[in-house]
Amino acid sequence: AGPCDLYATGGTPCIAAHSTTRALYSSYTGPLYQVKRGSDNTTTNIAPLSAGGVAEAAAQDSFCASTTCLITIIYDQSGHGNHLTQASAGAFSGPESNGADNLASATGAPVTLNGQKAYGVFIPPGAGYSNNAASGTATGDAAEGMYSVLDGTHYNAECCFDYGNAEVSSHDTGNGHMEAIYFGTNTIWGTGSGSGPWIMADLENGLFSGASTGNNPDDASISSRFVTAAVKGGPNKWAIRGANAVSGALSTYYNGTRPNASGYNPMSKEGAIILGIGGDNSPNAQGTFYEGVMTTGYPSDATENSVQANIVAAKYAVTSLTSGPALTVGSSISLRATTAGYTTRYLAHTGSTVNTQVVSSSSTTALKQQASWTVRTGLGNSACFSFESKDTAGSYIRHSAFQLLLNANDGTKAFYEDATFCPQTGLNGQGNSIRSWNYPTRYFRHFNNVAFVASNGGVDAFDATASFNDDVSWVLSTGFA
């Protein structure tokens, strides 16, 4: 059985079932998600390998070979047509030129399920999905349940990495107009024990970790690599439950009455569905989504417990975040541009500006050092890498406003993540393309001889699609210094 078979057996069937990694019904054979590739803007659907099975990641890999791919649709498997697509501007605008949010890279969150490769939805700040015309979702004070499987190591403190029920207008229409799972370290409204991240319920104008706003010590920090997060709500009752998604049972972090503040009892749920954003399209949070559902009716704890057992049996596991020529931690490297006319230029720095400069064996020692980088274990994710300056110890390549800078490591989570990069097989077939860990649509790119993390199309000049594959492919060699 799949999770939605279990919810149906429990009398609380799924009315939305989203996953890029696997079918959530044992009989489901339809599409899981759609990807769009950068080379020609065409799309393809990715389906399970077999009924009820894991997504056919190899179909994505072959469709997206030598180019970039975005996740354009996350299909609803429940038959209600509640597909998730690129979120439009709401009270807050996303980064796209029309105020829409970004789409997620199709390759930012590789995993395995029972040993088979699949991809989750890695959502950086600015990305988000929604369906503002969903059908069958809870409205008003009607009961519903939901769970999602998330990456417990990918979060931030911004509003709001959510999955669940929200406003149909993408505007804040008042307390009680949302009921969604939140995951992260936002402390504006509620907190749990420890330093987070926490599972909370986004009920609009408040992330609730328990009966009221503020600290609720029963809401535990949960940071296992894979997290099961569950929220359910009905007339004057709601609950938060959570677990490690690869072992053990759900813990109940809250189970009680609605918040004692106007608007939350009864609720005024509107029935839209959001992923990765707040109800007003607040787009600055980050997180990773692998699968999730919404039900009609208030699922029993027993039903949720059987769903958790099903998730554990799916055996989520990590897999490599890198491909192409291997990098060795501790070695010194230089990175040569491969764009025709620029192939004598190497990634270098002038002060804090990261650029490309013409370097050769007869260059000065100073220039050789400016163009040499010590490979370090990724500061933000040990499966990837960071690049420390050869001539300025303690300073690393990081992106800021999507330009590459050489900055001193300030020890913050944001610095670590901005300084972490996952090399891939070079998009033009040469060397490596160096992908940003926290913005997986973006790669090291030289543009007018200055270095950026660029996406293949976007609002900035350095995102130009022309020459993208060449500009983001670098041949790595032993460092000049």
Region of 15-23, 272-280, 291-299, 449-457 interacting with ligand AHR (CB under 6 A): 272-280
Does position 282 interact with ligand AHR (CB under 6 A)? The reply is yes
Nearest approach, Cβ of 476 to ligand AHR (angstroms)?
42
172 binds ligand AHR (CB under 6 A): yes
Query: CA 12, CA 130: separation in Å to the nearest integer?
Result: 23
278 is a contact residue toward ligand AHR (CB under 6 A): yes
Classified as helix, coil or strand, 195 is coil
Residue 285 engages ligand AHR in binding (rule: CB under 6 A): no
160 binds ligand AHR (CB under 6 A): yes
The alpha-carbon radius of gyration of the chain (Å, integer) is: 23
| Candidate residues 5, 280, 417, 471; the one interacting with ligand AHR per rule CB under 6 A | 280
In this structure, are residues 298 and 232 in contact, taking their beta carbons and an 8 Å threshold? yes
- Position 207 contacts ligand AHR (CB under 6 A): yes
The amino acid that residue 428 corresponds to is N
The minimum distance between CB 274 and ligand AHR, in angstroms, equals: 8
Q: Does 267 bind ligand AHR (CB under 6 A)?
A: no
Kindly tell me which of 204 and 291 has the beta carbon lying closer to ligand AHR. Answer: 204
Neighbouring residues of 263: CB distance < 8 A, sequence distance ≥ 6? 174, 175, 176, 177, 204, 205
Of the candidates 441, 74, 122, 90, the one whose C-alpha atom is nearest the C-alpha of residue 278 is: 90
What are the DSSP calls for 54-90, one per residue?
Answer: BB-HHHHHHHTTTS-EEEEEE-BTTSS---EEEPPP-
Residues forming beta bridges with residue 134, ordered by sequence position = none
Count of residues interacting with ligand AHR (CB under 6 A): 12
**Alpha-helix runs per DSSP H in 229-342:** 301-314
DSSP state of 416: H
Q: Could you give the residue numbers annotated as active site?
A: 204, 280
Q: CA–CA separation, 285 vs 124, rounded Å?
A: 7
Site string for ligand AHR, 302-341 (x = CB under 6 A): ----------------------------------------
Cβ distance to ligand AHR smaller for residue 259 or 440: 259
CB-nearest residue to ligand AHR: 278
Our finding on whether 202 is near ligand AHR (CB under 6 A) is yes
Q: How far is the CB of 99 from ligand AHR (least distance, A)?
A: 16
- Binding residues for ligand AHR, rule: CB under 6 A, are 159-160, 172, 202, 204-207, 278-280, 282
